[in-house]
């Protein structure tokens, strides 16, 4: 699903993004509710930010990547931790692209997410390459999602990957 977000583009620097687990739902500009083999997932666009809410059986988790006033947790390169009965893994990277490369990558990502049944993307008025996009899937008992936060004025694309699920015992 592709939508135009009805807001000004305020989170304007990749370096201002922060990461948090366990936050309450924040006001969203666009929402996509998904059912992925027993897991209820809500993808939420918060402007140039995202929040994912996951519920499965008696467990729940929320991930927020946003410019959060008062947050002292910058966007980490990687996190691996237990969240209740789940193993949670998060990774982030910042791609810096030339103007031409950025425009091409933006079009490619928006096309990928716009028509995907588990994808949500929002563009901002005034810049066709300013967007936030999310794509979710269920794979081998785990729920996974990827996000892209575009900052065309800086030529930067923040890419995140998350994987969460019951830890599988080691095979012998």
Q: What is the pLDDT of residue 10?
A: 54
Q: Using the predicted structure, report yes or no on whether residue 172 has a pLDDT greater than 50.
A: no
pLDDT, tens digit, 9 for 90 and up, residues 90-118: 999 999 999 889 999 999 999 999 989 99
Q: What is the structure's pLDDT at 73?
A: 65
Handedness of CA 74, 77, 82, 87 (dihedral sign): positive
Q: Kindly state the tokens that stand for 80.
A: 């691996």
pLDDT bracket for residue 148 (50, 70, 90): very high
pLDDT confidence tier of residue 167, bands split at 50, 70 and 90:
low
Separation between Cα atoms, residue 13 and residue 16, nearest integer Å: 5
Q: What is the mean pLDDT of the chain?
A: 87
Distant-in-sequence, close-in-space partners of 49: CB < 8 Å, separation ≥ 6:
11, 17, 64, 65, 66, 67, 132, 149
User: What are residue 73's DSSP bridge partners?
Assistant: none
- The answer, yes or no, to whether residue 69 has pLDDT greater than 90, is no
pLDDT of 125 over the 90 cut: no
With tokens 């080691």, the residue in question is: 170
In the chain, how long is the greatest CA-to-CA distance? Answer: 56
User: Confidence band (pLDDT; 50, 70, 90) for 168?
Assistant: low
- Quote the pLDDT of residue 12: 67
CA 47 to each of CA 37, 87, 164, 169, 170: distance values in angstroms, whole numbers, following the listed order: 28, 28, 24, 39, 40
- Of 146, 118, 120, the C-alpha closest to 36 is 118
pLDDT digits (tens, 9 = 90+) for 5-57: 776 655 567 888 889 999 999 999 999 999 998 889 999 998 778 999 999 88
* pLDDT at site 58: 82
């Amino acid at each position: 699903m592709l939508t135009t977000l009805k807001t000004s583009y305020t989170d304007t620097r990749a370096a201002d993004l922060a990461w948090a687990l366990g936050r309450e739902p924040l006001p969203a500009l666009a929402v996509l509710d998904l059912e992925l083999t027993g897991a209820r997932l809500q993808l939420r666009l918060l402007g140039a930010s995202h929040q994912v809410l996951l519920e499965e059986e008696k467990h729940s988790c929320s991930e927020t990547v946003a410019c959060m006033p008062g947050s002292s947790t910058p966007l980490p390169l990687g996190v691996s931790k237990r969240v209740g009965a789940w193993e949670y893994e998060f990774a982030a990277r910042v791609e810096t692209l030339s103007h031409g490369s950025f425009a091409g990558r933006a079009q490619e990502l928006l096309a990928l997410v716009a028509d995907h049944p588990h994808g949500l993307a929002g563009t901002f008025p005034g810049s066709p390459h300013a967007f936030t996009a999310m794509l979710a899937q269920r794979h081998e008992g785990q729920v996974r999602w990827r996000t892209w936060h575009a900052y065309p004025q800086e030529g930067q694309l923040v890419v995140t990957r998350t994987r969460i699920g019951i830890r599988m015992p080691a095979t012998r």
